[in-house]
Amino acid sequence: MARFDSLLDACGNTPLVGLPRLSPSPEVRLWAKLEDRNPTGSVKDRAALHMVRGAEAAGRLRPGDTILEPTSGNTGISLAMVAKLRGYRLVCVMPENVSTERVQVLRMYGAEIIYSPAAGGSNQAVAQAKQISAEHPDWVMLYQYGNEANARAHYETTGPELLRDLPSLTHFVAGLGTTGTLMGTGRYLREKNPEVQIIAAEPRYGELVYGLRNIDEGYVPELYDPSVLTRRFSVGTRDAVLRTRQLVEVEGLFVGFSTGAVAHAALNVAHEALREGRRADVAFIVADGGWKYLSTGGYGGTLAEAEEKLEGQLWA
């Protein structure tokens, strides 16, 4: 059945597609879960919907309330759609170095945007966020980095969908941001199969992004529980761009750069399994399509040119 009562009801149940050309052998197969097929085109629709429903059920959100969310993109777009349909106002705090497409979509949905300066580093973002919060104590923050409904969305939907569609799954690979996808899906899959490998791929940005962050001022999302993970890879811009292009050329998948990073880690573990003579079904998350990132310039020219253009941008 592919008929739904509303757009919100069409969230999830995304296709899992095989990648026969990229798979190393008939015994070591790669699978892509197409989260860009969600209502606003990213995996974040699942978390946004569950967080809003959770806050409504808990009485934290009432019609007409204002939701405040610091986000570098997709969560904002998902929340903007959910907020519009459920009757809330949305204010997004975001760094000014995110792609223009994301900003345009947010504005179209009627979200308001407050920029935190890219060059000012995280300290300035923190100061600004505190100020906004102090000025508007009635605004509701869903706080995706610590909201259990974010991880629960994946425990209740993404995990069961994967195992339903691929009972022989051996590896699950996804991007590490809020950690919600990996924590929720990972816990579900581990409960059903203790042997399953849960693998994180995190983007390694250019130096400008890390800036002069003091080691004592690091951030680890409250949702993060390293015991859920088997391994964790850091993927540089060049590898992410290389895999993003390979996915289009070899399998016809047009994805965002974070998915390129995830595919890099997935190929890594798949080829390891091949070398060791083990059977493997490696499923990875396609967090979003490439449309919102075209203006970064990362899809054309040589790899080195793309890498240079993405330097200093939050490409995932």
Partner 1 sequence: MAIEVRIPTILRSYTGGAKTVEGSGDTLADLLTDLDSRHSGLRARLITDQGGLHRFVNVYVNDEDVRFLGALDAKLKDGDSVTILPAVAGGAFAFAAAAALAGTR
Choice from 6, 26, 59, 214 touching partner 1 (CB under 8 A): 214
Q: Would you say 97 or 193 has its CB closer to partner 1?
A: 97
Give the span between the Cα atoms of 197 and 257, in whole angstroms: 23
> Collapsing DSSP states into helix, strand and coil, what is residue 209?
helix
Instruction: Kindly state the smallest distance separating residue 229's Cβ from partner 1, in Å.
Output: 7
CA atoms within 13 A on the CB side of 233: 22
Q: Would you say 14 or 179 has its CB closer to partner 1?
A: 179
Instruction: Kindly state the smallest distance separating residue 145's Cβ from partner 1, in Å.
Output: 5
Residue 226: how many other CB atoms lie within 10 Å: 9
Interface positions, 122-151, toward partner 1 (CB under 8 A): 122-123, 125-130, 132-133, 141, 143-146
Q: Tokens for 188? A: 């579900």
Choice from 23, 179, 244, 296 touching partner 1 (CB under 8 A): 179
Give the range of 8-16, 151-159, 213-221, 285-293 binding partner 1 by CB under 8 A: 213-221
Do 174 and 185 contact (CB within 8 A), yes or no?
yes
316 touches partner 1 (CB under 8 A): yes
Do 18 and 163 contact (CB within 8 A), yes or no?
no
Q: Which positions are catalytic?
A: 44
Q: In what helix (H) or strand (E) does residue 114 lie, and over which residues does it extend?
A: strand 112-116
Q: Would you say 4 or 219 has its CB closer to partner 1?
A: 219
Choice from 23, 40, 42, 72 touching partner 1 (CB under 8 A): 72
How big is the site for partner 1, counted in residues (CB under 8 A)?
60
The residue among 90, 218, 188 whose CA lies nearest residue 142 is 90
Instruction: Kindly state the smallest distance separating residue 227's Cβ from partner 1, in Å.
Output: 11
Q: Output phi, psi for 295, to 5 deg.
A: -70, -10
Q: Would you say 166 or 242 has its CB closer to partner 1?
A: 242
The residue among 116, 286, 111, 93 whose CA lies nearest residue 201 is 286
Choice from 83, 149, 166, 209 touching partner 1 (CB under 8 A): 209
CA atoms within 13 A on the CB side of 314: 20
Q: Tokens for 36? A: 């860009």
The residue among 224, 177, 207 whose CA lies nearest residue 72 is 177
Q: Please report, for residues 112, 287, 304, the alpha-carbon distance to residue 232 in angstroms, rounded to integers and kept in the order given.
A: 35, 17, 25
Q: Would you say 109 or 224 has its CB closer to partner 1?
A: 224
Instruction: Kindly state the smallest distance separating residue 146's Cβ from partner 1, in Å.
Output: 6
Q: Tokens for 11? A: 């969230």
Instruction: Kindly state the smallest distance separating residue 51's Cβ from partner 1, in Å.
Output: 13
Burial (CB count within 10 angstroms: exposed 0-12, middle 13-18, buried 19+), residue 217: exposed
Contact map string, positions 215 to 254, toward partner 1, x by CB under 8 A:
xxxxxxxx-x-x--xxxxxxxx------------------
Interface positions, 28-67, toward partner 1 (CB under 8 A): none
Beta partners for residue 29, in sequence order: 281
Instruction: Kindly state the smallest distance separating residue 241's Cβ from partner 1, in Å.
Output: 15
What is the DSSP secondary structure assignment for residue 257, as one 8-state letter? Answer: H
Choice from 210, 275, 301, 304 touching partner 1 (CB under 8 A): 210
Instruction: Kindly state the smallest distance separating residue 124's Cβ from partner 1, in Å.
Output: 9
Residues near partner 1, by CB under 8 A: 68-72, 93-95, 116, 118, 122-123, 125-130, 132-133, 141, 143-146, 176-179, 200, 202, 204-205, 207, 209-222, 224, 226, 229-236, 314, 316
